[in-house]
Amino acid sequence: MEALKNYIDNTWTASANLSTVKVLNPATQELLAEVPIGSASARDMDQAIKSGHQAHLEWKKVPVMRRVQPLFKLKRLMDENLEDLAQTITLESGKTMEESKGELMRAIENIETACGTPMLMQSEFSEDIASGVDEFMIRQALGVTACIAPFNFPAMITFWFLPYAIACGNAMVVKPSEKVPLTMIKIFHLIDQLDLPKGLVNMVHGGKVAVDALLEHSLVKAISFVGSTDVAKYIYAKGAQYGKRVQAQGGAKNPVVILPDADIEMTSKIVSDSVYGCAGQRCLAASVILSVGDQKNGIREALYESAKSKHIGFGLDSGVDMGPVITPDSKSRINRLINLGVEEGANLLLDGRTPKVSGYDKGNFIAPTILENLALDGKVIETEIFGPVMSLLHMNTVDDAISFINKSKYGNSACLFTSSGASARKFRNEVMAGNIGINIGVAAPMAQFPFSGWKDSFFGDLHGQGRHAIEFFTQTKVVIERWPKDWSRKF
Ligand code: NAD
């Protein structure tokens, strides 16, 4: 099978790498593609970065109103190709078609928001700060920027950054996850139809060597990274060492608190969709469920029934609620963590370790699992599982739950289910996490809001999406001007 090509200078270009890794359908292990990877990635990157640099020098001079026009076309092309793109996401990532379409809608919303860049980039102006002196601030492009994406959203995550970066006058190099490169290739076939300047948007495949080449290249000015916490920390530190602007989103372990006054039926359904949606491979997936107070309300049983009712299978088949996890390695890692949770004293209320999925014997399936009463001083309680595993804990008070949450090293999101406004207010004020949901299972911010994240879930200052993205992808210049009416007057 021929290795996938990079997209450099608006041309599909063979990688300098001779070695490849396989992309397999996670439900069947069918070989989908071979991705170039290895020590020659630095050469590929250098070509893409230099091409981006040339393109940006002209593009930054194009009026912003014209720079957003290709985004309107991209939105239309993404809408028209939604079904085909969703199928590719499902094939390579294992999501259900509904999840794949949902991801694409989120990507498109970011394109739509970035179409407002002419407004978002508007400058600030102060007249007569002293007699005859005006002062104003303008925003200018940075140069070549880069996006390094994880496997779990093959389309969406790049769009937290890409549309804003180019609308602000920058070039961008995209490095998709080597586990799911095919969706971005399809999207680049659409980008190819936009008549963008040659080299403005490039895509280079690869792994660590490709990422290091981006981090070390002097023409790269800003890095947007999304992935696991250890790699995010590395990117942040190394990016800073090489003088770059960095936003690095990391891992998570998202808690959901259920108070005794929550509506049990609605809550159990929403919470189990949050835990098991995308097979638990979402950075905002509910992971630790803290049921507070009286357990006689039936929440334990409702969560169990809801989890048990999920129909697992291949996402292209109808009636499937949950697909496989991404790789056999991932499946083994998750099962090891379930085993460790039991060794640490948890009750395995629902065991999904070895499901039978008819027709898909080779798939990386794990069925919904519930670990109840995990040891609070164990390893599993603080480890991101990134699979369809709910950790169910019982707490006496909402203060106990908040104190538990605030001890976590992560701070991506936290959700509360209640019918009390006062409890909701206390929760949103006191909880140390960047995205808060009240009676919401997945607290994913819409495109006009920053995708916040605190503690070890984010390294940097400005987040992806909305106004933060505009600030991240521009540098400010402050101008003070004096235009005295009478030049003979002494300054
Ligand atoms: P990952 O960290 O393994 O990989 C992410 C990217 O970094 C990939 O493009 C990969 O090629 C590259 N990479 C991997 N190891 C590297 C290294 N040592 N040096 C340089 N680059 C490296 O993450 P993943 O497994 O693809 O994605 C899952 C993780 O992403 C989870 O931890 C999840 O929580 C996190 N995530 C976070 C968010 C968020 O918004 N905070 C969103 C989605 C996913």
Q: Is the same domain home to 415 and 340? A: yes
How many separate domains does the chain show?
A: 2
**Phi, psi torsion values for 172, nearest 5 degrees:** -140, 140
C-alpha span between 162 and 171 (Å, rounded) = 9
Q: Which atom of ligand 1 is nearest to the CA of 235?
A: 20
Q: Is the same domain home to 473 and 399? A: no
As annotated, the active-site residues are 283
- Residue 491 forms part of a structural domain: no
Rounded to whole angstroms, what are the CA distances from 449 to 107, 159, 296? 14, 14, 39
- Supply the residue whose CA is at minimum distance from atom 36 of ligand 1: 227
Yes or no: say if 149 and 176 are a contact pair by the CB < 8 Å rule: yes
C-alpha span between 417 and 307 (Å, rounded) = 18
Of 323, 355, 316, 313, the closest CA to residue 94 belongs to: 323
- pLDDT, residue 146, reads 99
Residues with CB under 6 A from ligand 1: 148-152, 175, 177-178, 207-208, 211, 226-228, 231, 234, 249-252, 283, 384, 386, 412, 451, 453, 457
- Residue 380 forms part of a structural domain: yes
- pLDDT, residue 123, reads 87
Cross-strand partners of 36: 20
Q: Is the same domain home to 31 and 19? A: yes
Q: Is the same domain home to 199 and 307? A: no
Q: Is the same domain home to 211 and 277? A: no
- Supply the residue whose CA is at minimum distance from atom 21 of ligand 1: 208
Per-residue pLDDT of the chain (491 residues; tens, 9 = 90+): 999 999 999 999 999 999 999 999 999 999 999 999 999 999 999 999 999 999 999 999 999 999 999 999 999 999 999 999 999 999 999 999 999 999 999 999 999 999 999 999 998 999 999 988 999 999 999 999 999 999 999 999 999 999 999 999 999 999 999 999 999 999 999 999 998 999 999 999 999 999 999 999 999 999 999 999 999 999 999 999 999 999 999 999 999 999 999 999 999 999 999 999 999 999 999 999 999 997 667 999 999 999 999 999 999 999 999 999 999 999 999 999 999 999 999 999 999 999 999 999 999 999 999 999 999 999 999 999 999 999 999 999 999 999 999 999 999 999 999 999 999 999 999 999 999 999 999 999 999 999 999 999 999 999 999 999 999 999 999 999 998 776 666 55
Q: Which of 23, 161, 231 to mutate to test the pocket of ligand 1 (most atoms within 8 A of CB)?
A: 231
- Residue 204 forms part of a structural domain: yes
**Amino acid code (one letter) for 456:** D
- pLDDT, residue 491, reads 52
- Residue 452 forms part of a structural domain: no
Range of the domain at 129: 6-250+457-479
- Supply the residue whose CA is at minimum distance from atom 19 of ligand 1: 208
Q: Is the same domain home to 207 and 224? A: yes
Q: Is the same domain home to 55 and 75? A: yes
Of 92, 97, 110, the closest CA to residue 185 belongs to: 92
- Residue 484 forms part of a structural domain: no
According to DSSP, residue 445 is labeled P
C-alpha span between 429 and 252 (Å, rounded) = 20
Q: What is the CATH number of the domain that holds 174?
A: 3.40.605.10
- pLDDT, residue 429, reads 98
Q: What is the CATH number of the domain that holds 262?
A: 3.40.309.10
- pLDDT, residue 233, reads 98
Q: Is the same domain home to 294 and 245? A: no
How many other β-carbons are positioned within 10 Å of the β-carbon of residue 397?
11
Lookup: tokens for 345: 């004293």
Kindly give the distance from the C-alpha atom of residue 19 to the centroid of ligand 1, in angstroms, as a whole number: 21
Q: Is the same domain home to 182 and 34? A: yes
- Supply the residue whose CA is at minimum distance from atom 43 of ligand 1: 283
**Amino acid code (one letter) for 401:** A
Rounded (10°) CA dihedral 171, 177, 182, 186:
-20
- Residue 444 forms part of a structural domain: no
Q: What is the pLDDT of residues 194-203, one digit of tens each?
A: 989 999 999 9
How far is it between the farthest Cα atoms of the chain?
A: 90
Please report the sign of the dihedral spanned by the C-alpha atoms of residue 181, residue 182, residue 183, residue 186.
positive
Q: Is the same domain home to 145 and 275? A: no
Q: Is the same domain home to 130 and 221? A: yes
- Residue 89 forms part of a structural domain: yes
Kindly give the distance from the C-alpha atom of residue 226 to the centroid of ligand 1, in angstroms, as a whole number: 6
Yes or no: say if 287 and 393 are a contact pair by the CB < 8 Å rule: no
Q: Is the same domain home to 184 and 62? A: yes
- Residue 490 forms part of a structural domain: no
Of 373, 372, 391, 395, the closest CA to residue 383 belongs to: 391
C-alpha span between 382 and 389 (Å, rounded) = 13
